[in-house]
Amino acid sequence: MSKIIAFVGSPRKNGYTSLLIEEVIKGARSKGAEVKIYDLNDDGIKGCQGCFYCRIHEGCATKDYLQPMYEDIKNADGIIFGSPIYFMQISGQSKQWLDRMFPMIGGSSFPFQARYPGKKAVTIFSQGNENKDAFQAPIQSVNNAFSMFGWELIDSLLCSNTSSPNLKLSEELLKQAFSAGELLS
């Protein structure tokens, strides 16, 4: 049974990003995967302290809601990450999490070597702008970070034109999300 860790960077529990993450999770579970979800909007998350503990040790010195994620990632086969684009960037919750991912690259001897390579990953983004190319820079930045972590990007989904309050996802996008989840397992 494969282990998948999902990181939800949206404060909206039933928003576009969250719905797409759920569809990826359904795909992974359909292949027998065990999935653990981290809500990055949790009040118990602290930012990176820049202490460099992770340069010498595995994990992070900060004891908070995210503390178990390092061991979970180490033991996982796949990673799901999703964030809305807010004001031309990933959400603040997602940025705080990404800063806490510094331990994913090696310690003092090999500062930019992937510490836990070989994971499969799916990224999900949603944006209000209907132009799919409008905010490629923050999307590419996250995908590049995953590459530096040594993770294979299975798929990167983008839901655009999300300003509509009716939360309608296309069948094509839902199918792509489910298939991405199947490929994680």
Radius of gyration for the chain, computed over Cα atoms and rounded to the nearest angstrom:
16
Domain map (residue ranges) of the chain = 3-184
Task: pLDDT band for 108, please (50, 70, 90 cuts).
Answer: low
pLDDT above 90: residue 71: yes
Distances, alpha carbon 10 to alpha carbons 45, 77, 83, 86, in Å: 14, 23, 6, 10
What number is the average pLDDT over the span 135-147? 97
Q: What is the average pLDDT score of the chain?
A: 95
pLDDT above 90: residue 176: yes
pLDDT above 80: residue 156: yes
Place of tokens 């409008």: 134
In eight-state DSSP terms, residue 103 is: G
What number is the average pLDDT over the span 89-99? 98
Q: What is the model's pLDDT at position 166?
A: 74
Q: What angle do CA 162, 146, 142 make, to 5 degrees?
A: 35
Q: How does pLDDT run across 15-68, given as a tens digit for each residue? A: 999 999 999 999 999 999 999 999 999 999 999 999 999 988 889 999 999 999
In eight-state DSSP terms, residue 11 is: S
Q: What is the CATH T-level fold of the domain 3-184, as seen in this structure?
A: Rossmann fold (3.40.50)
pLDDT above 90: residue 111: no
